[in-house]
Amino acid sequence: MQKTNSYETILILSTSLGEEGTTAMVQKFKDLIAAHGTVENVDEWGKRRLAYPIAKQPEGYYVMIDFKSAPEFTAELDRVYKITDGVLRSLIVKKEEKPAKPQKAKPAKATAEAPAAETAEA
């Protein structure tokens, strides 16, 4: 079985694509990711003002996608982002797997121990 990692990718799409173009672009990337892994969550943040103009555009459409895939796929996904018109910026980040924390043993209450200690002495 091939090893898979958890990733999240954030895209800033051009608002000049229009509503239908943006929806089609998001669907295109969801389908591409689903073909090479599993899409866990898609969070469309919508149109936001950029901190500085990118390609002379003051606003962008933000989308975050959580997915699992093989590590090799991220390079291909990044390549596709770079050659696609309408993608202003993109970022792919590997999510760290959090190890399960061992549960600490809770000390028994002193009031519960006191009657047990008294019966042991008697």
Rounded to the nearest angstrom, the gap between the alpha carbon of residue 94 and the centroid of all alpha carbons in its chain is: 8
User: What is the DSSP code (8-state) at residue 99?
Assistant: P
Please tell me the predicted confidence (pLDDT) of residue 2: 74
> pTM of this prediction?
0.75
Which tokens is 4 given?
Answer: 């898979």
pLDDT of residue 1: 57
Give the mean pLDDT per block of 10 residues along the chain (122 residues): 88 93 94 94 94 94 95 94 94 83 59 53 53
Contact 61, 13 (CB under 8 A): yes
For residue 3, the model assigns a pLDDT of 86
Half-sphere exposure of 71 (CA within 13 A, CB side): 4
